[in-house]
């Protein structure tokens, strides 16, 4: 019997097929090797990108020259423009504003690598530190309400045809995106009712049950969520309640690096380098001047990373209804990923 499961945060229902459960080998992911153009993101090609915003580099090396470990540059194809005013206005019944925002690319390695597990733990820590720093810098721009950190890996996940160079992207927006708002509302609602954080409750129950835990470290846990929308969907969460990703602590950065390295190595091995997206969900920027956020947000929201392998076609049914069919029960996905040896 298929099951209908409800996401406890936003109330989305998902169908989990339990009978014809798909195993990793059923997905049969193929890759076509297409020649890549000269990579603008490799060390030595710094002049091919816009001027760097920030870099972790060897002492004594100059901006836009070799000698870096992580490098942040503006996107060459920005979805948002940094200059100008937001200028909110109406057009009849519709609302419009200028798409002011920042769009940055975090180059995660000077070498031409393609997946994050190929980095060492220390290198991943540098990447995390850079992300934290850039988000805290973007918060200073009062036009922005939200900053989204995400990665598109592989063509099907929206990755670029030109180069596969390992990178993530940061977009700061003048609005809080819908998907985030839903989560914020859901967590607030849960808190009003129970006076507990819904994510903390999820973590507690998952660790107790164990069947959906993929990896558990001292401070960070990775699970296959109860109402996974996609096969092999993974959530990575800090075990200590933290609202903002920016407040991540040193020991959490260490553990997060280990978790990212392990999880993506396992995903790549078991599903033959599947396309995936991951994104950071953190609380919106809150400023004393601009009220409008509820007083419990510090207690009710909990940052986390969502990993979504893109191995099934999302069809009209899912789009139109926001109701997903997942052919792989999360318990099986978690078991499989736990058991993969690297």
- Positions in 209-268 near another protein (CB under 8 A): 209, 226-227
**Binding pattern for the stretch 167-206 against another protein, x by CB under 8 A and - elsewhere:** --x-x-xxx-xxxx-x---------------x--xx--x-
For position 28 contacting another protein by CB under 8 A, the verdict is no
For position 93 contacting another protein by CB under 8 A, the verdict is yes
The position carrying tokens 């096969």 is 231
Q: What is the dihedral of CA 95, 152, 48, 137, to 10 degrees?
A: 60
Nearer to another protein, 59 or 92 (CB): 92
The position carrying tokens 């792989």 is 328
Nearer to another protein, 55 or 106 (CB): 106
Nearer to another protein, 215 or 280 (CB): 280
Among this protein's residues, is 165 annotated catalytic? yes
Residues in region 59-88 near another protein by CB under 8 A: 79-81, 84
Q: Which of 49, 65, 75, 99 touches another protein (CB under 8 A)?
A: 99
- Determine the Cα–Cα distance for residues 134 and 26; give it in Å rounded to an integer: 40
**Binding pattern for the stretch 263-292 against another protein, x by CB under 8 A and - elsewhere:** --------------xxxxx-----------
For position 136 contacting another protein by CB under 8 A, the verdict is no
Q: What is the dihedral of CA 286, 290, 297, 82, to 10 degrees?
A: -40
* Nearest approach, Cβ of residue 284 and another protein (Å): 11
For position 31 contacting another protein by CB under 8 A, the verdict is no
- Determine the Cα–Cα distance for residues 284 and 131; give it in Å rounded to an integer: 15
| Angle of the 198-209 helix axis to the 178-194 helix axis, nearest 10 | 80
* Nearest approach, Cβ of residue 279 and another protein (Å): 3
- Determine the Cα–Cα distance for residues 223 and 209; give it in Å rounded to an integer: 11
Exactly one of 103, 165, 281, 304 is catalytic; name it: 165
For position 51 contacting another protein by CB under 8 A, the verdict is no
68: which residues sit within 8 A by CB, 6+ positions away?
Answer: 43, 55, 56, 57, 58, 61, 110
* Nearest approach, Cβ of residue 95 and another protein (Å): 4
**Binding pattern for the stretch 141-160 against another protein, x by CB under 8 A and - elsewhere:** -----x-x-xxx--xxxxx-
* Nearest approach, Cβ of residue 113 and another protein (Å): 19
- Determine the Cα–Cα distance for residues 245 and 315; give it in Å rounded to an integer: 32
Q: Which of 104, 233, 306, 331 touches another protein (CB under 8 A)?
A: 306
- Determine the Cα–Cα distance for residues 114 and 55; give it in Å rounded to an integer: 19
Could you tell me which stretch among 58-66, 237-245, 251-259, 317-325 binds another protein (CB under 8 A)?
317-325
- Burial code (b: 16+ CB inside 10 Å, e: under 16) for 47-66 equals eebeebbbbebeeeeeeeee
Sequence-separated contacts (24+) of 47-52 with Cβ below 8 Å: 49/73, 49/76, 49/105, 50/74, 50/76
Q: Which stretches of 272-324 are DSSP H helices? A: 297-300, 316-321
* Nearest approach, Cβ of residue 112 and another protein (Å): 21
Nearer to another protein, 151 or 266 (CB): 151
Pairing outcome for strands 324-326 and 13-16: parallel
Nearer to another protein, 55 or 127 (CB): 127
Catalytic residues: 165
């Amino acid at each position: 019997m298929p099951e209908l499961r409800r996401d406890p945060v936003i109330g989305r229902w998902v169908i989990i097929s339990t009978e014809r459960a798909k195993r990793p080998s059923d997905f049969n992911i193929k890759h076509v090797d297409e020649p890549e153009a000269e990579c603008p993101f490799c060390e030595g090609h710094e002049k091919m990108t816009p001027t760097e915003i920030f870099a972790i580099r060897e002492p004594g090396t100059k901006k836009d020259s070799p000698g870096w470990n992580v490098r942040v540059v503006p996107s060459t194809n920005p979805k948002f423009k940094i200059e100008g005013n937001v200028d909110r206005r109406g057009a009849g019944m519709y609302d419009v504003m200028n798409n002011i925002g920042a769009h940055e690319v975090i180059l995660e390695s000077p070498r031409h690598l393609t997946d994050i597990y190929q980095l060492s733990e220390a290198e991943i820590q540098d990447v995390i530190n850079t992300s934290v720093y850039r988000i805290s810098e973007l918060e200073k721009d009062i036009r922005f309400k939200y900053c989204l950190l995400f990665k598109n890996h592989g063509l099907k996940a929206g990755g670029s045809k030109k180069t596969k160079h390992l990178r993530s992207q940061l977009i700061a927006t003048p609005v809080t995106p819908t998907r985030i708002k839903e989560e914020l509302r859901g967590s607030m609602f849960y808190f009003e009712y129970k006076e507990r954080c819904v994510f903390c409750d999820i973590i507690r129950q998952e660790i107790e049950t164990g069947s959906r835990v993929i990896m558990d470290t001292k401070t960070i846990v990775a699970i296959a969520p109860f109402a996974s929308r996609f096969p092999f969907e993974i959530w990575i969460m800090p075990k200590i309640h933290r609202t903002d990703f920016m407040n991540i602590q040193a020991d959490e950065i260490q553990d997060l690096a280990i978790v990212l390295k392990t999880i993506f190595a396992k995903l790549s091995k078991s599903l033959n380098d599947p396309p995936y997206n991951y994104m950071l969900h953190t609380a919106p920027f809150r400023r004393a001047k601009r009220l409008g956020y509820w007083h419990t947000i510090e207690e009710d929201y909990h940052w986390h990373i969502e990993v979504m392998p893109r191995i099934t076609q999302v069809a009209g049914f899912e789009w139109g209804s926001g109701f997903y069919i997942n052919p792989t029960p999360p318990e099986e996905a978690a078991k499989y990923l736990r058991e993969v040896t690297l």
